Amino acid sequence: MPGILYVVATPIGNLEDITYRAVRVLGEVDLIAAEDTRAAQVLLDRYGVRRPLLSYFEGNETERAADLVARLGAGEHIAVISQAGTPAVSDPGYRVVVAALAAGVRVEVIPGPSAAVTALVAAGLPTDRFLFLGFPPRTEARRRELFAGVRTLEATLVLYEAPGRVGETLADLAAALGPRPAAVARELTKLYEEVVRGTLPELHARYAATPPRGEVTLVVAGAPAGAALEAEVDLTAELRAAVAAGRPLREVAAELALRTGKSRHAIYQLGVALKKG
């Protein structure tokens, strides 16, 4: 019988943020593959877990994934943990999950903290739809391209960023998305936890010269409703002109829907919003 691969979430700062199940599983497996064995040892010591550790990080992920799958095939139960939070979320772990599944090994996720979801909730921005962008590209051109591509998306954006790059990323976000509400969530669950809220230009002004210290997650409000429609055709101008000419909104919405292939209902709603000012 092959073993089970357990993908175990660990704290993003506060060592108490771990589940009973995670501690039990870590204590029962044959091997723990850890991104940072020193950090893992601190956590395991705290909970009295003594199991063999193997280092598993981005640089050796591909080759280690093959070793781990071979050991799983031989019946060992293995846990994967990353330096913080949920493995495979902008962290090593993804490749071993894919390799294990391809080999027919059972994969169980032991859920727990992730900086992305913690920051999203702490930011106080809409949570019903969000897009996790991971770490934005390091080159300015690619970063700008990414942000331009999500400009009309009605979903809150969540990004990881290294503290030294927060200033330039906020500058590019402000340039692409305008003065949207956003938050810089720093050192979540730790002693110096801080969530600074403001518009993108305000946050850029605050962090451009003095980068935040510690671990940072950025959260940015999505586009206002109707932004996608407005972006492609100048629907706002069309609707305003038609309404000013005294044409019924339903008729105009139907006509514009035919012209653009967009939803008649969405255009009608945009017209109603414009009428209300």
Give the binding site for ligand SAM (CB under 6 A).
Answer: 12-13, 82, 84-86, 89-91, 114-116, 119, 160-162, 185-190, 215-217
Torsion of CA 49, 54, 60, 62, to 10 degrees: -80
- The conformation of residue 123, written as its DSSP 8-state character, comes to H
Rounded to a whole number of angstroms, the minimum distance from the CB of residue 138 to ligand SAM is: 13
Closer CB to ligand SAM, residue 21 or residue 190?
190
Nearer to ligand SAM by Cβ, of 131 and 258: the residue is 131
Complex with ligand SAM: residue 32 or 115, whichever CB lies closer: 115
- Residue 258 gets the label, from left (phi > 0), alpha (psi -120 to 50) or beta, of alpha
Q: Is 147 or 268 the residue whose CB approaches ligand SAM more closely?
A: 147
How far apart, in whole angstroms, are the C-alpha atoms of residue 184 and residue 215? 10
| Cα distance between residue 201 and residue 172, in whole Å | 10
What does the alpha-carbon distance between residue 177 and residue 199 come to, in Å, rounded to a whole number? Answer: 10
Distance CA 215, CA 156 (A): 20
CA angle 10, 14, 17 (to 5 degrees): 50
**Rounded least distance, CB 91 to ligand SAM, Å:** 4
Query: Nearest approach, Cβ of 159 to ligand SAM (angstroms)?
Result: 8
**Residue 71 or 143 having the CB closest to ligand SAM:** 143
Cβ distance to ligand SAM smaller for residue 3 or 85: 85
CB of 32 to ligand SAM, least distance (A): 16
> At its nearest, how many Å lie between ligand SAM and the CB of residue 11?
9
Q: How far is the CB of 193 from ligand SAM (least distance, A)?
A: 7
| Minimum separation from the CB atom of position 106 to ligand SAM (A) | 22
Residue 195 CA to residue 8 CA, distance in Å, equals 27
Q: Label the pairing between strands 78-81 and 4-8.
A: parallel
184 dihedral zone (left: phi>0; alpha: psi -120 to 50; beta): beta
Nearest CB to ligand SAM, comparing residues 159 and 253: 159
Residue with token string 């669950």: 189
Task: Please identify the residue of the shown chain whose CB is closest to the bound ligand SAM.
Answer: 85
- Pick the closest to residue 13 from 132, 191, 168 (CA basis): 191
